[in-house]
Every structure is written in structure tokens, then in C-alpha cells.
Structure 1
Amino acid sequence: MKNFSYIKKITLIIMVASLIFCLGLGIGIFFAEHEEIEKQTKKLEKISQFGSFSINNKTEYSKTLPKVIAPDEKDYNKKTNAEPLRQNHNYSLKKKNHLPKWIDNSIPVFKQPEFSYIAIVLDDMGLNKNIANEVFELGGPLTLSYLSYAPNLIEQTTIASSKGHELMLHLPMEPLGDQDPGPGALLVDMKNMELNQRLNLALEKFPNFIGINNHMGSRFTSNSKLMEFLISSLKKRGYLFLDSVTTSGSVALKMGRRLSAPVVARDIFLDDVDSEKEVKLRLAQTELIAKKTGTAIAIGHPRKATLRVLKDWMHDLQQKKIQLVPLSAIAQIRLDKIN
């Protein structure tokens, strides 16, 4: 009996020790994950109005901006102190008393005080109809950027628009290296006439989009002369340019300020690594940027892992005081701040 009692005591001690060990391990993992997010976003503290920071060798641009925007419910402004976001647009071309297309084709949203605002842009849309249907059914509004060489663009974008998502044109541009950017790409050795022809052809693919962002394009967006031509051409037509920031050498933001043209840059790539863990980490970083600066722009792709994480992530936004908004809304905030 004494031996049995002794064994029982030893067993109890082992069980308690194991429990303490597991508890400590769990706490350690939690703080390790939190520390990883904080570590990779620590440089945010040093962001200036046009500063930059790097994550996994990707250069991320952001700005210190005010907090505004809110849901697009028809009667929302009657229930709250929300105000329409369409305000000053001196930085954009006005013709015949009409708003530029990036404003006219935008999804209307409203200010909501004390919220931070995130735009999610999904690139490479238009090539996979099955996964596009999954995208359409996500909550939103999302900003969907369609490749200029995708098939049936009018049909696809009409459905996307009817689901409440904002539209963009994803235009191939020449990258560094020998990777093929795709049909109709803007290349650095082209003359302005040929660039203009390709640009016009792309802009006629489908209606009601707010602007373009570059597909690849690390070589093209680093060329000041070519970017001056592109951004001035877009400004004349009333479109904005979203810099995907595929290179730290991009001159898009600088050229936008110089030409008083509507140009903004993304802050985070969500899925350079195609895994749910990666997307969750990048969304956490996106939230930190939004909380610190008022707004954040993240670019992802229509991939299974990305869509699964986004679907779950959208459920908790209200509790976090984060509003998911179309890209045009954040562009208006950032550009109004500059002007």
C-alpha cells in the first residue's frame, strides 16, 4: 500500500509538472507569434509622410493620414453623423463639369469617426472563372483588378460590379529579368506612339473601372520618362494609378506628386508566400499600418488560401474598428491630405 501511495504521489507530481510545462509552452508560442508581428512592423514607427519600410525584401510605402470612411448602406448617413467622402478633387482633371473617371466610377462610401480603413485589392482577376465566383461572394467591397488580356472581361466585370466590388485594370508592364509579363505589355523600348496605342487598347477592354495598377513592371515603373508619359496620359483620361510597388526603385509616387496626378501605392503584399499562415501575418501587419496611419492598402491574389483567410478576417472588423473600403476611398483621403 505504501508503494502504491508513493507511485500515486509521483504520478500526480508528473501530471502537475506536465500541465505547467504545456501551459508555459502555450504562452511562449502566443508571445512568440505576437513578437514576430511586432518585429516585422517595428519600422512603422519611422514612417514619414512618404516614408518606406521593408518586409521580406519588399519595399512598402505608406503615409501618415487621417481616419475617415464607412459603410455604403443607403440610409447609413441618416442613422449616424457620417458624411459623404467625395470632397476636394483639385488634384484631378475636371472636364466639362464632370468628375474624373476614378471618382465617377467609384463606389460611394461615408466617413465614420474613430475607424481605421483598409482596401484589399485582388490582382490577376479574370483568368479563373470558378475562383472568381468565390471572390464575388466575399463580403466587401473589395477592389478587383482584371488582367487586360483576360477573356470575357465585360461579362466578368459586370458581375463583379453588381456584387458591390470596385473595378481596376491590371496592366502588364516590363519587369526586370526575362519573365514574360503577358500580351499587350508596356515595354521600355517602345516609343510613345506605340505605348499610347497599347494603353488605349487596354483602357477599352471594359467600362466602369477607376484606374490601373501594374502587373509586374519593375523595370517600367523605375523609368522616369516612361512613367511621366503613363501617369500624364492616365490623368488626362481621368484615371488613377495604383503602384503595386514591385521594386523599391519605382518613381510612381514621385511622378504623381510632380504632375498633381492621382497616384497611390500599396502598403502590403498579402500572399507572396501562398499559405494561410502568411496571409494572416500580412493582414495583421496591414491592420497595424491602418491603426498607425489611418489607412492601409493591401494587394493579394484570387488564391484558395487567401480567400479562406479573408473570409474569416472580415467577420471581426467591426470589433476592431476597421472598415473595409474600396481603393478609391483611401485614394481620396491620401490625395486630399497631400493637397
Structure 2
Amino acid sequence: MTALVLMLSLPAQANQKIAIVIDDIGYQKKDMSALDIPGELTFSILPFTPYAKRFAKQAQAKNKEIMLHAPMQALDGKTLGPGALTMDMPKEDFQSMLRTALDSLPNIKGVNNHMGSLLTQQNAPMNWTMEVLKEHELYFLDSKTTPKSKAQTVASLHGVDNIARHVFLDNITTQKQLRFRFDQLKRIAKRYDYAVAIAHPYPETFEFLSQALEELEHEGIELVPLSELVQARSLRLAQAKTTSLSSD
């Protein structure tokens, strides 16, 4: 996987850490049951959906980290739903939509793209996105729906803390595939000291995670909110830059 070559290890003294983001929250009442899964999961909420605000408020009450799952135009032209960010939007409309979506939910810590295989390849929309995130002091998680994404590069240029997804846990929801992807996630964390997974509000995923997360502590891996990994990555990058400048 190309992304692994680009990964930076956390400081050597850090424990191995994993963040798991549950995407696509907000359309179904059953999404609320995600809050019953033990551990520091992070939740990414689709804006203006029927259960978005309710989920966000309950997540806040339980001290769970939440993000905005911003719908972005895909290559296949799939319907994006409310809050969509598309190629044909002028900058003013694009940023107004993103700000409105952010303001619709309390205590947002970051943003990741819902779909976005087309939009994340474009310089202008990514610049507009990162300008807004910088204003709000939010991080960006690149869901990596395309290997050609420019999101992290543009985020770094704007001084927006960022990170990328390494594993999709449940593109296939059989127990065998969930186990395979979860073990892959653990291997990445053990090799690089951290890893990021994205999952979705499927009953099979919730059932699997409710049991599998117990394994992490026994293997010396800590489940943490995504912001903790974002901050650690930014610190590592800053340290590497300082070391490079001092050696010139």
C-alpha cells in the first residue's frame, strides 16, 4: 500500500495507538447504538441528516469525539445528499455551505470527506476547504477514496493538521473479512506505532467491534480519539523539520 511508505512513526516512547472512525452517521435511528460500543471511537456525522444533531449531542454528553463527514463530489456521480460540495459551486457558495454544515453540529473536532474521489483531486476546492478548516482550527482526515487525492498536501500548505486513513474495516461485512481488516489494522499499528481505520454503521460492524476491541489492550495497543493521532503526527513533522533545519 503506497500510503504506508509515506507514514511517519510516532515518537519511540509512545504506545502503539489506533483510531477508528465510524463514518456515515446520521441517517438511521440505529446509528445511535454506535455510542454503546465501549472505547474511544470517533464518529463522523453527515450534516443535515435526521439524527445528526441528536447523535452529536449524545456523543458530546459521553465525551466522544465527533467530526463532520462532508459530502464531496465523486467520480461516479453518486448522489451526495444534503450539504454537498461540488465542482460547479463558486468559492463563496462552497465555503458558505461548508461553514453552515460545521455550524450545524456542536463540538466538531475535524472533517473528513464522504466520497470525494473527484473533489479531493482538485486544487481549488481543496484550498477552499482548508481555508475554512484553518479558520475553525479543525483537522482534516483524508478518507483516501482516491490515490490521487491532494487533500493532505493542500492541508499542510494551509497549516491544517491532517492524517490519512489506512484501512477500511468493513467494505465487506462478513466476519472473515472484518477479522482480516482488523488484524491488518493491528499490524500497521505495531509496525508504525499508529494506524487509522474507517468503518460504517452496519450491525455486523458494531457486533464485531463490541467484541474485538477488547483485544487491543491485551496486545499493548491503545484505542484513542483521532485528534490524538493527528496531534502526534503534527508534532513528529515539526520535530523532523526542526532537525532538518538545524543540520543544514
Q: TM-score, normalised by structure 1?
A: 0.67
Give the equivalent residue in structure 2 for 1:64.
9
Partner Cα separation in structure 2 for residue 284 and residue 175 of structure 1: 29
Write the letter of the residue equivalent to 1:137: D
Write the letter of the residue equivalent to 1:276: Q
Cα gap change, 1:157 to 1:143, in 2 (>3 Å) = same
Give the equivalent residue in structure 2 for 1:277.
176
Displacement after TM superposition at 1:277 (Å):
1.4
Give the equivalent residue in structure 1 for 2:60.
161
| Local SS of the residue matching 1:172 | strand
Larger Rg: 1
- Which runs of no fewer than 5 residues in structure 1 stay unpaired? 1-42, 51-61, 68-112
Give the equivalent residue in structure 2 for 1:179.
78
Partner Cα separation in structure 1 for residue 63 and residue 219 of structure 2: 23
Give the equivalent residue in structure 2 for 1:95.
none
Displacement after TM superposition at 1:178 (Å):
2.1
Write the letter of the residue equivalent to 1:64: S
Give the equivalent residue in structure 2 for 1:306.
205
- Which runs of no fewer than 5 residues in structure 2 stay unpaired? 239-248
Superposed CA offset, 1:134-189 (max 9, x none): x1111111101110121243322111222232111111010002211112210012
Give the equivalent residue in structure 1 for 2:134.
235
Superposed CA offset, 1:273-332 (max 9, x none): 122211111111111111111111100001111111111111121110000000000001
Give the equivalent residue in structure 2 for 1:115.
15
1:335 equivalent to 2:234? Answer yes
Give the equivalent residue in structure 2 for 1:320.
219
Write the letter of the residue equivalent to 2:11: P
Write the letter of the residue equivalent to 1:148: P
Cα gap change, 1:225 to 1:131, in 2 (>3 Å) = closer
Q: TM-score, normalised by structure 2?
A: 0.91
Displacement after TM superposition at 1:190 (Å):
1.1
Which runs of at least 4 in structure 1 moved beyond 6 Å after TM superposition? none
Partner Cα separation in structure 1 for residue 23 and residue 4 of structure 2: 26
Write the letter of the residue equivalent to 2:15: F
Cα gap change, 1:284 to 1:189, in 2 (>3 Å) = same
Partner Cα separation in structure 1 for residue 43 and residue 161 of structure 2: 18
Write the letter of the residue equivalent to 1:119: A
Write the letter of the residue equivalent to 1:223: Q
Write the letter of the residue equivalent to 1:279: L
Partner Cα separation in structure 1 for residue 95 and residue 31 of structure 2: 32
Displacement after TM superposition at 1:259 (Å):
2.1
Give the equivalent residue in structure 2 for 1:225.
124
Write the letter of the residue equivalent to 1:120: I
Give the equivalent residue in structure 1 for 2:246.
none
Q: Is the 8 A contact 1:132 1:302 kept in 2?
A: no
